[in-house]
């Protein structure tokens, strides 16, 4: 919007200045009139080129803004994903710590049961020998 207003203002100003400057000269004669008419046509053609270039630039700006919006959304999504992964990592660390504690407890119990088994085997042998 801003670019089209600027382009229109520039075009209008260029046309008005050219028109005023050429007005006095046009009244001078046919040869001068033809020369001035060709200058006016050139200025108008250049003005049209600027207007078209302005439209192209506006489209490019709109495309870039849309791409910027997409990239920001993707970045935010990536950031959310990163946060989710961090949460999962913390949960996994907590589970590992818990499982390590359970493993140590089970190893202690297994060792205790083995010792009890050995004692019971010795007692069983002693009882068998007494008989």
| 36 CB-contact burial (10 Å; exposed 0-12 / middle 13-18 / buried 19+) | buried
What the block records as the tokens of 98 is 């818990």
Q: Is residue 56 over pLDDT 70?
A: yes
19 touches 43 (CB < 8 A): no
Whether the CA torsion 44, 46, 52, 58 is positive or negative: it is: negative
Interhelix angle for 30-130 vs 2-26, to 10°? 170
Domain locations along the chain: 2-130
pTM of the model: 0.44
Q: pLDDT-based confidence at 20, cuts 50/70/90?
A: low
Please tell me the distance from the alpha carbon of residue 94 to that of residue 32, in angstroms, as a whole number.
91
């Amino acid at each position: 919007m801003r670019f089209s207003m600027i382009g229109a203002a520039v075009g209008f100003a260029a046309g008005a200045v050219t028109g005023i400057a050429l007005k006095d000269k046009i009244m001078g004669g046919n040869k001068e009139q033809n020369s001035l008419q060709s200058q006016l046509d050139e200025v108008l053609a250049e003005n049209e080129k600027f207007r078209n270039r302005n439209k192209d630039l506006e489209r490019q700006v709109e495309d870039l803004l849309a791409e910027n919006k997409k990239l920001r959304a993707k970045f935010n999504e990536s950031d959310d994903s990163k946060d989710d992964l961090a949460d999962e990592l913390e949960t996994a660390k907590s589970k590992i710590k818990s499982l390590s504690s359970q493993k140590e407890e089970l190893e202690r119990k297994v060792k205790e049961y083995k010792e009890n088994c050995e004692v019971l085997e010795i007692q069983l042998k002693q009882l068998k020998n007494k008989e």
